[in-house]
Amino acid sequence: MKPSNVIFAASEAAPFSKTGGLGDVMGSLPEAISLAGAKVGVFLPYYRQTRQQKFAVKLLLKKVKVSLGQRDIYFSLYRYFHRGVDFYFINKKDYFDREYLYGGPLGDYSDNALRFAFFSQAVLSSLKVLEISPDIIHCNEWQTALIPFYLKKSPGQKDFFPETKTLFTVHNLAYQGLFPSKVLPGIGIEQSFYIPEELEFYGQVSFIKAGILYSDALNTVSEAYSRDILTGEFGFGLEGLLQSRSKDIYGIINGIDYSKWNPETDNFIKVRYNNKSLANKAECKRDILSRFKMEPDINRPLCGIISRLAQQKGIDILIKSFTGLINLGCSLVVLGKGEERYERVLRSLSQQYTRYLGVHIGFDESLAHKIEAGCDMYLMPSYFEPCGLNQMYSLKYGTIPVVHSVGGLEDTVIDYQQNPSKGTGFKFRILNSYNFLKAVSRAIEIYKDKRIWKNLMVRAMKADFSWRNSAFKYMKLYGKMRVKK
């Protein structure tokens, strides 16, 4: 039973607000769902970041009430129609007119529990006033995880939403929304829910548990990650609870936006190319080598990394393997920003190995495109990866990914050695420096044979991870949820 009306609730969506991958997904998936045939609305906080961009939003509702605990809180609602989707903005200056979305350099905002509990209730209140009782409310991450809980447990909600089903998407299980129990009265949740079977989690209140326990179905952003999170290694202590819901957990890979990431149309890169004009890719490589003032030998394999410099991304493995990589005969460029300890080591290595290592610490969209285009290989030694985008961008740019076989990396890259006729990259199973270097060395061996390497690049560039495919899978899942009692 195809859904006709789908509402998304999220804490960010590009171009209105973005801190990372969630913003990209929420900026693309709703449009793809609308193209697949449903009427789609997206609820977002009206942040300062959104206000400053001066979209022509229309005031839709004034003085809408949310009752949280003992307090009545009022907000207004704006609407903006964008690429086939109604974007609704919850306007509450006290909570959202701030410099950052979740917190600044000094840490998370201390009232995040209240801000996002309010947002979750405000979504439900707005829907009631607008008289929209959707088939599906699609919630994302801990910030909207209370919606399924409020829908089932707050008085009167189910009367208005008798047929509405909730889907809860986990984009990254590492972020859980954990708060001290003293927040409970202020967010309208009775103390009786502060038990391990409900929302308590090792001495704190867990918002993500509300989503896991009370949604009608759950999904993660790749099939492999939907299995990974059921294990002690990747479950962050929630594996037991997730196992108890395993029948309702699905995996749907994110798409990527080929209007932005396509070497045929990319405005950021030196020379555009496609799988028939790969000589142009060599120009992009020259461009990168000269920007970073590195050894200009075009035949020396060049590896790239564009990443948050965080533990999750295996930056420690990269650093440990660095001299090994150089000894294997390759050069490396790194674009990243994040933990100071990694930034420091990478900077110092680049001063030592100027010819073979280029490092840019910072966030730079344009350089990211140039690196994707200019490198021969792309390295992802991530400890875990719910989906991962760069390996998919790399495939499109004919930049062969070498990845730890977890989560989305497992699902999107086919190992060349295991499947020479279908392979698109190189994978290794157990994450350590030895296995990582072995996989890079396998890639270099193939790289030496220009004909085989070219075939590999062409195949990689033909892989299709467009949003259309993912939207189709979401529509199927929504349909399945609707018929299930």
Closest by CA position to 251, among listed 268, 232, 234, 276: 234
Shortest reach from residue 293's CB to ligand ADP, in Å: 20
| Alpha carbons 435 and 260: distance in angstroms, whole number | 33
| Alpha carbons 446 and 453: distance in angstroms, whole number | 6
What does the radius of gyration of the chain's CA atoms come to, in whole angstroms?
23
Closest by CA position to 379, among listed 327, 456, 446, 431: 431
Shortest reach from residue 259's CB to ligand ADP, in Å: 14
Is residue 408 within 8 Å of 386, Cβ to Cβ?
yes
Choosing from 90, 217, 318, 368, the residue that interacts with ligand ADP (CB under 6 A) is 368
Shortest reach from residue 172's CB to ligand ADP, in Å: 7
Choosing from 18, 364, 446, 472, the residue that interacts with ligand ADP (CB under 6 A) is 364
- Should residue 173 be labelled a site residue for ligand ADP when binding is judged by CB under 6 A? no
Q: Which of residues 416-475 bind ligand ADP (CB under 6 A)?
A: none
Token pair recorded at residue 87: 């974007």
Q: Choose one: 10-18, 228-236, 383-391, 430-438; the region binding ligand ADP (CB under 6 A).
A: 383-391
Residue type for 96, please?
Answer: F
Q: Identify which of residues 21 and 398 has a Cβ nearer to ligand ADP in the complex.
A: 21
Q: Contacts with ligand ADP: how many residues (CB under 6 A)?
A: 16
Shortest reach from residue 364's CB to ligand ADP, in Å: 5
Q: Choose one: 74-82, 110-118, 281-289, 304-312; the region binding ligand ADP (CB under 6 A).
A: 304-312
Q: Which of residues 57-116 bind ligand ADP (CB under 6 A)?
A: none
- Should residue 343 be labelled a site residue for ligand ADP when binding is judged by CB under 6 A? no
Choosing from 121, 215, 390, 435, the residue that interacts with ligand ADP (CB under 6 A) is 390
Shortest reach from residue 47's CB to ligand ADP, in Å: 19
Backbone angles phi, psi at 114, to 5 degrees: -65, -45
Closest by CA position to 473, among listed 291, 211, 251: 251
Q: Where are the alpha helices (DSSP H) in 41-96?
A: 48-51, 93-96
- Should residue 260 be labelled a site residue for ligand ADP when binding is judged by CB under 6 A? no
Whole-number Cα distances in Å, 269 to 42, 262, 287, 375, 397:
33, 10, 9, 12, 11
Closest-by-Cβ residue to ligand ADP is: 21
Q: Choose one: 68-76, 158-166, 300-308, 415-423; the region binding ligand ADP (CB under 6 A).
A: 300-308
Query: Using CB atoms within 10 A of its CB, is residue 330 exposed (0-12), middle (13-18) or buried (19+)?
Result: buried
Chain centroid, CA 198 distance in Å? 27
Residues that bind ligand ADP (CB under 6 A): 20-21, 306-308, 335-337, 363-365, 368, 387-390
